[in-house]
Structure 1
Amino acid sequence: MTAERVGIDELLERVREDLDRVSPREAFDAAAEGALLVDIRYAALRERDGLIPGALVVERNELEWRLDPQGSHRAPEATGHGLRVIVICNEGYASSLAAVSLRQLGLDRATDLVGGFQAWKSAGLPVSR
């Protein structure tokens, strides 16, 4: 049996149907209410553009290990499956795929930031160096 082949644009469209993606302001407000912002951008982008204060930085290749509440390598912030997680990449593409991966681990409230870090910064929200 051959698996259906789809391109990345169609895959993104499909996975985003199940995500309650958030705007930069919604992410900011959600963080104030206890949501965990997770920055998956690689180091060069973080160094170039700065960081979102309070966001947990987790390289994309470590994300599932660090956020799985049952995992042996989990971050202290990964407190349970009910945690609201908002994944942030640079422009809001890789974060959608990452959020779906977290949902597959049982983090049913995982989603991502529309437009990524660049949208956050353009919205004038806090950025630190």
Structure 2
Amino acid sequence: MPLNIKKTVKQMVAEADSQIETMPLADVMKLHGQPGVTFIDIRDPRELWRDGTIPGAINVTRGMLEMWIDPESPYAKDYFQTGNKFIFFCAGAWRSALATKTAQDMGLTPVAHIEGGFGAWKKAGGPVEKVEPKK
């Protein structure tokens, strides 16, 4: 039985990218550590354990994003109510494009994601913090 996929992931990412802010890596690196800026790592925890993360980033997996942003949700996180600029990232900027679009659609502003994702950050020599599994 063939799948009746109406839109590919690649199309969804391209659509999201056309409606959100994608920040060049050089600009993002200048914002790292600045007050009023929160980095959101949406990768799976196993990716963080294996590859590390941007120092100070908050891990918010894609599966909980909407619940953690929504202030009316029982799972809401206070850091999404700060008025900070939120910079989302994943390994290669596909998941973060979708997450940024979702956050923007929910009314979270200002939001952006990192061009090239964490892979580009590491390749450019950005600082990386080791993440240990929680016991």
TM-score, length of structure 1 as denominator length: 0.85
Q: Residues 45-94 of structure 1: CA distance to partner in whole angstroms, max 9, x if unpaired? A: 111111211111111111111223443322221125x4321111111101
Asked if 1:87 corresponds to 2:95, the answer is no
Q: What does residue 6 of structure 1 align with?
A: 7
Residues 52-61 or 71-80, more deviating:
71-80
Unaligned runs of 5+ in 1: none
Secondary structure of the residue aligned to 2:118 is: helix
User: Are 1:83 and 1:107, in contact at CA under 8 Å, matched by a contact in 2?
Assistant: no
Structure 2 residue corresponding to 1:37, chosen from 23, 36, 39: 39
Matched residue type, 1:75: K
Corresponding residue pairs, total: 125
User: Are 2:86 and 2:109, in contact at CA under 8 Å, matched by a contact in 1?
Assistant: no
- 2: CA distance between counterparts of 1:25 and 1:56? 21
* 1:107, distance to aligned residue in structure 2 (A): 1.0
Q: What does residue 116 of structure 2 align with?
A: 115
Q: What does residue 67 of structure 2 align with?
A: 65
Matched residue type, 2:123: S
Ranges of 4+ aligned residues in structure 1 off by more than 6 Å = none
- 2: CA distance between counterparts of 1:126 and 1:113? 15
Q: Which has the higher strand share?
A: 2
* 1:24, distance to aligned residue in structure 2 (A): 2.6
TM-score, length of structure 2 as denominator length: 0.81
User: Are 2:54 and 2:128, in contact at CA under 8 Å, matched by a contact in 1?
Assistant: yes
Q: What does residue 24 of structure 1 align with?
A: 25
- 1: CA distance between counterparts of 2:98 and 2:25? 18
Secondary structure of the residue aligned to 2:55 is: coil
- 1: CA distance between counterparts of 2:29 and 2:102? 22
RMSD: 1.9
- 1: CA distance between counterparts of 2:41 and 2:94? 13
Secondary structure of the residue aligned to 1:125 is: coil
1:87-106 pair list within 5 angstroms? 87-106=88-107
